[in-house]
Amino acid sequence: MSTLYVVDPRARVKREGATLLVQVGGKTKLRARLDELARCVLAGQSWISRPALEGLLARGIDTVLLDRGGGYVGRVAGPEGAHVELRLAQAAAVGDSAVCLRLARAMVVAKIRNCRRVIGRTKRAKEVPGVAALLAELNAARVAAQAAETLESLRGWEGQAAALYFKALRRLFPVDLGFKRRRRRPPPDPVNALLSLGYTLVGAELAGAVRAVGLDAHLGFLHRPLRGRESLALDLLEVFRPEAVDRLTLVLLRGRHLQSKDFEPAEEAGGLRLRQESFRDYLEAYEAHMSRSALRGPQRNKRSLSLREYLHIQARELRRAIESGERFRAYLTH
């Protein structure tokens, strides 16, 4: 199953039977069979017809809307599944401080471990001054998070670990990119722009994955439920940020596959976004990264699985943990 990305502002997505047509200036540039699609992503001013949208909805295919800079606008999805008992169990788990802490703690500990692995596996990272010490501090934060007895304490250790992690990441990117710290609104440099874009894409996939197994994407354990926020998707995003987005960003910018010239000013003053052609290049790299064989996490399989498949495995694993009350096995980068 594949993802249809439409980023050209002139593009029009129409439907012809069971096939979507992507047209520019009245000429068909791409054909995509509906039964071969997992999701559709529209960026900027690209347009989709009602018949095309109905074809996607009828097959349970989410349509994700992004702004021109790759920021999340919203999604168009079909009716939620009739998983009333599961939703009630999820709500009860969110309301139970002990269960909530147990699930959130597993996510935070896995996130910190995955952060250390991404840094540690980056070529020559340990030769960079200060990185080895930051890795040791990250490990100490992981141990402290594992022992956290309240959600507030856990969130505190997660925040401290994130600060240490980005301090280490800053040392690994080329200095001329101007990356000093994590900033989202607006992203002022190429590193922040790619991180924000990647987190948006993976977060949208995770929201679809948790919905597919019957969970409510808005009821989170680590992230407090807030109106309009898909807190559960953000919970799982913490586990996958390092491997799914940060590693890809390191590869693209350290290897100069994308450079400062590939970015342009965004609508928000002081912000940057990818130029249209470079946006396409990024999406191609993102698809290759998410589709490649991922090193196995705690779920042992006879065949190698892609990172995208692990997103769905993790959603199913979380459902199992909620329904059974057993330990949640968060994804671990190896």
Domain span at 40:
2-76
| Per-residue pLDDT at 298 | 47
> Cα separations (Å) of 66 from 58, 76, 216?
22, 12, 22
- Length of the chain in residues, anyone? 334
Give kind and range of the element (H or E) at residue 83: none
Confidence band for 164, pLDDT divided at 50, 70 and 90: very high
129 occurs within a structural domain: yes
Distance between CA 117 and CA 135 in Å, rounded?
A: 9
28 occurs within a structural domain: yes
Domain finish residue from 76, 108, 129: 76
- pLDDT tens per residue across span 167-212: 999 999 999 999 999 998 899 999 999 999 999 999 999 999 999 9
Distance between CA 235 and CA 220 in Å, rounded?
A: 6
CATH code of the domain in which 23 resides: 3.100.10.20
Burial code (b: 16+ CB inside 10 Å, e: under 16) for 267-298 equals eeeebbbbeeebbeebbebbeebbeeebebbe
CB 51 within 8 A of CB 91: no
55 occurs within a structural domain: yes
Arithmetic mean of pLDDT, 218-240 = 94
CB neighbourhood size of 134 (10 A): 22
Confidence band for 134, pLDDT divided at 50, 70 and 90: very high
Q: How many domains does the chain have?
A: 2
> Cα separations (Å) of 210 from 94, 100, 116, 216, 222?
15, 17, 26, 7, 15
CB 64 within 8 A of CB 39: yes
Hunting for tokens 């002139």 — which residue is that?
A: 10
3-state secondary structure of 89: helix
Domain finish residue from 23, 44, 76: 76
35 occurs within a structural domain: yes
225 occurs within a structural domain: yes
Domain finish residue from 48, 76, 104: 76
330 occurs within a structural domain: no
Residue 323 corresponds to which tokens in the numbers above? 């329904």
pLDDT higher than threshold 80 for residue 1: no
Confidence band for 98, pLDDT divided at 50, 70 and 90: very high
124 occurs within a structural domain: yes
Distance between CA 256 and CA 177 in Å, rounded?
A: 11
CB 47 within 8 A of CB 25: no
Distance between CA 177 and CA 182 in Å, rounded?
A: 13
Model pTM greater than 0.85? yes
